[in-house]
Chain A
């Protein structure tokens, strides 16, 4: 049985870790990009951002002040038991989002869509958002993603339906053209992690793109060899564009391209992209009985 006290403590530490500590794969991507950068301004951009991230960790500050949407991705062990029942999970998570917002770990960004006013606690209809998966065992694995507004709102999210005759060139063109527009003048804070969803219905496709962008570590590849090849091919091509970090020109325009697909109606093909910020934030915790530990990889598609 997972006690509410442990659950609360695990979620609180996960939120704080996500907001103030770069995942190791992202830190490594920064180091590699700094090493490879040919443009001096771009190198200064990457170094200044990476240094700030290190300071945030040391001083308990934030990686980026825009902590965006509070999103929870939760893997529930089929035999996991929580004190008071499963529904307690969402209640505790909301309580911790509120607490972390009041303490300055999350910025109160969530507002009513029309009045534009929020309660200052990041809690509202459908927010925070919860996505669930089941897996064998008795543990809970909770990933918290503060999803930045830049990458989500200013062109980093796109959807289109292709005709079967447009495949595969149409998929590639869609990704390249959308990325150029989105990354221009640094709107989505490149170098991004670009998630690409292929197939399914519109919502399945968008979800896959989002989960590919925010839950797969940099350096991971799709299990399907052909798709993995396409990931590498797209990453190379985007890095040939010279967009650079924050759109100021440079050798690294994208950290990674992650593609996930679903089977699809024979008549057409939905494709979607969702970008994650260069400061790609996430933290994953595994809770079992009265103990919890952090994991580097959410292992979401595993």
Chain B
């Protein structure tokens, strides 16, 4: 079996990043590095993207100096009149593929965090606009909740609901997130997929699936 990530050289440098990110920050991280964020980050999901990009609404807040976006819908409850996070973990980025290229350009994003990875179009725009995508290496909502120092702002709760609303958070050691697509266009998951393709031959053999197997066409 070919295994990716067998030792640290394969994947990681631990990098602490302060937000807003500079172009220099973005250039120094490579696919496979593990990053933590400090400063302001903000969240969004598809309803915000749809309202702004497809339906032409004005953004309800300024994204200036807020160039790290987390694809995430945190669970928030109000305790003593203050919004408090209960649980949070980044959500699957690929489903936003239609909007990601435009969000990078329009909102000046330098980093996007989401589960999994992004598609070809986003990858091209990330390379052109010097931006990277990072993903959680596991599911650790408690760790992320504990990294939130303050809920800075929230908008449009009435309009799109608690989960889809953009939350601006001040965070410390927010991570770990692995850079899966860097600003040079390299992809970590592509390396894994290549290995899996090779390993698949062995798996087929173990199961006695003939190499030339084809499904009968029924419809």
Contact = CB atoms under 8 A, between A and B. Distances in A.
Contacts of A114: none
Q: How large is the interface on A (under 10, 10 to 19, 20 to 34, 35 or more residues)?
A: 35 or more
Interface string A147-172: 00110011000001111011001101
Interface stretch (A6-14, A212-220, A241-249, A291-299): A241-249
B5 A61 contact: no
B202 interface: yes
Interface residues of B, number: 67
Contacts, number: 215
Given A38-B6, A184-B189, A117 B161 contact: yes
Contacts of A108: 161-163
B207 A52 contact: no
A49 B140 contact: yes
A51 B140 contact: yes
Interface stretch (A130-138, A192-200, A202-210, A232-240): A232-240
A45 interface: yes
B162 to A, nearest CB: 7
A246 B1 contact: no
A173 B92 contact: no
Interface stretch (B19-27, B98-106, B123-131, B208-216): B208-216
Nearest to B10: A41
A219 B196 CA distance: 25
Interface string B134-148: 011111111101000
Contacts of B204: 173, 176, 237
B142 A55 contact: yes
A250 interface: yes
A45 to B, nearest CB: 4
A55 B191 CA distance: 33
Contacts of B213: 169-170, 173
The CB with the most chain B CB atoms within 10 A, among A52, A55, A249, A250, is that of A249
Interface string B86-113: 1111011011000000000000000000
Given A41-B5, A185-B117, A189-B139, 15 more contacts: A40-B5, A61-B145, A62-B141, A63-B139, A65-B75, A107-B87, A118-B161, A150-B92, A160-B215, A166-B216, A184-B192, A237-B206, A242-B1, A244-B5, A249-B4
Interface of A: 38-42, 44-49, 51-52, 55-56, 59, 61-66, 103-104, 107-109, 116-118, 120, 149-150, 153-154, 160-163, 165-166, 169-170, 172-173, 176, 180, 184-187, 189, 233-234, 236-238, 240-251, 268, 277-279
13 contacts: A44-B138, A52-B143, A161-B218, A170-B215, A180-B200, A189-B139, A241-B1, A246-B136, A248-B192, A249-B3, A249-B5, A249-B195, A268-B218
